[in-house]
Structures are given as C-alpha cells and as structure tokens.
Amino acid sequence: MLKLSSCNVSDQIQVLAQCRFLGSPGPLSFRRRNPVFVSCSASSRLKVNLTPVQAVLSDQQQVGTELVESGSGSLADRLRLGSLTEDGLGYKEKFIVRCYEVGINKTATIETIANFLQEVGSNHAQSVGFSTDGFATTPTMRKLHLIWVTARMHIEIYKYPAWSDVIEIETWCQSEGRIGTRRDWILKDSATGEVIGRATGKWVMMNQDTRRLQKVSDDVREEHLVFCPRKLRLAFPEKNNNSLKKIAKLEDPAKHSRLGLMPRRADLDMNHHVNYVTYIGWVLESMPQEIIDTQELQSITLDYRRECQQGDVVDSLTSPEPMEGTETVSELHGTNGSAVTREDKQDCHKFLHLLRFSSDGQEINRGRTEWRKKPEMRY
C-alpha cells in the first residue's frame, strides 16, 4: 500500500516517479505488505528550490533523505511543453508544427500526426518513471525482456494544422482486458481550444527475445494501473464509432497496388522492427493519384498482424470499399467532442488496404481509410 500526504494528486505522482530513482537499488514495488510512505512539504509546489523528500521504500532498504529540486529532471524534461494533468492520471503536451513536417497541402502529414501521438505517449510514460530504455516499458517488463507492440491504431483528423501552428495533445492509458493496454488521445488547436482530432490505439505484450506474444502479468498491470484513470475514459465514447469497426480483408485482385516496398534502416525503432508509423506511409503509397490530388485523409484504421523487419519486401494493395448504401453520420458527444460533422457520400471516399510480404503473401496488416474533399490551400 502506498501513502502520500501533504500533496495534491499531480505532485504525488511526480514524487512517486522521483522516488523510483532515489538511491534505491531496485524499482519501486506496488505489492508490499508494509506501507510505503512518501511525504513532501507544501512549499515544494510553490518554490523552485531544494526541498527535502523522504522516502521509506521497504524494510530491507535504508530510510534516506534526499534533496530533490522541485520540478527537476533532465534538460529535455524542462524544455518540453508538457506536464501531467491536474489529477496526475494523464498528460498534455504542446507541439509546434515544423516546416519539414508538412506535405504538399502545406499542412502536417498524417505521419507527422502519428509521430506526435507516439511522442506524447512516450513522454507521458517517461514522466512517471517508465520508458528509460523502451516504449512505456515498466521495471518488470525490462527485467523480463518484454515490450509493447501495436495491435490497432485509429486516427481521425477534423482539421490539419499548418506550418507554425501549435497543437495541444492530451493522452491517457488504460488496461485493455488480460492481453494488453490502450491509449487515447485528443488533439486541440492550442490557440482556440478547438478539437481537431482524436485517436485511440491498442498494444499487446511481446517477449523481445522470442518475439512471441505474452499475457500481461499482474505485476505489470499493477505498475500501470496506478497511473491510469480509475473510471473508463474514451476518446471515442459514442456508440458504433469508426474506431470499433471491423476491417474486412481486401482480396485479390486489388484495383491499385505498389509492389516491392522495403524498410529503410531509419524505419526501425527501439524494438528492432519497423515502427508503426512507417506502415501508414506504405498504405498510402498505393492510393490512386486522383484521390491524393483532390482529397485529404479524414480517418485511418490499421490492424497490425505481423511485425516487419529489415530485409523484408512488402506489397501495398488498395481497393475502394463497397458502398453500404446509407449516409454516414458522425457525432461527437460528451466532454470530448467538437462540432457535429456529416459526410456526404459524394464527398467521402472509403478504401480498404492490405500490406503483405512479397515473398509468401502473408498478411502484415489490413487497413481502412476515409477521405474528404480537400479544403482550399492555406497560404
């Protein structure tokens, strides 16, 4: 049991993350019979100076008093425009869109948006003491050589930010059954507060040595849950939203294709496989040019089924999704939403996608995209 006093929730989470590294030879455990006491003075929240923080970690470890600078951390931590939310169970960060992050439309590309999501999620994990050598890996995961791998991503963009625009992204993570975890994001225009996008993703656990999936253990779950919202919170709370839609497999022959794609060395990430953002670019490589010229991506959903590594050769296949015969209506309700949007069938184009290995045709991932009429270019 962990007890914190004289601190608000956000301060408690920050102190808890600090105490993970206060001269203790091992990670802070959340399953101890004896209570763990962490106290901080109220002044630590008001002054940027050296403040005593006392941590009693276990019966076997000595009780020590360390001087910890309030708001301390690496230079990167201090320069980031991000911090834990008031309740300590989420994270917000602002990003400036750089010139090299925009595409032909003079707005941020979908790969840029996906990289922002990855960055803010990783920074959130680092802010609570995870991810010192991997993507949101806990102490137990690192000890057992376990990693998170992406199982599904769904991103919706209602308005793309342009070069020099500032966006704010809020994120939080939650448990997803016995096999994984989920993370949600809400993207806002920092100047107006307008919701310009939402996203959700699911991850499963893999053994980094055997490359086999593994159930989330109770130890790992407890390490995560202490930093998760107590009540279920979803970026897409409305029923039957597109993030829940099952993706039908695209069958041959596909109407459009781009064959022989190969990962670059720069496409590999810390988990020693192709990063999930690269797959987004591969999916878009087989889109028909007339759609790229007249439409912009409204939403993308990807189901990841196999990892891809350096030396693999990939085929990208795309075909229009069969029409459902009814108008698509998407409404944003509750505290997360923005204005109601309606998609006219004539203006909305939908496609199914498949990435497969060129050598044997095995499926790597399947996807679904929706496109809307491109707005007038911003100057």
- Residues carrying an active site annotation: 271, 273, 308
Residue 63: Cβ-neighbour burial (10 angstroms; 0-12, 13-18, 19+): exposed
DSSP element (H, E) containing 292 = helix 289-294
By the 10 Å C-beta count (0-12 exposed, 13-18 middle, 19+ buried), 136 is classed as: buried
101: three-class secondary structure by DSSP? helix
Residue with tokens 């009540």: 231
Which residue type occupies 203?
W
Q: Torsions phi, psi of 283, nearest 5?
A: -60, -45
Q: How far apart are the first and last CA of the chain?
A: 57
CB 190 within 8 A of CB 169: no
Q: Which amino acid is at 62?
A: Q
**Tokens standing for residue 212:** 């086999």
Q: How far apart are CA 130 and CA 127, in angstroms?
A: 7
- Report the run of H or E that residue 27 belongs to, with start and end: none
Rounded Cα distance, 113 and 154, in Å: 12
Query: What is the C-alpha to C-alpha distance for residues 299 and 338, in angstroms, rounded to an integer?
Result: 16
Q: Catalogue the E-assigned strands of the chain.
A: 2-5, 36-40, 50-56, 64-69, 82-84, 91-96, 146-157, 166-176, 180-189, 195-207, 213-214, 256-261, 295-304, 314-320, 328-330, 341-343, 349-357, 363-373
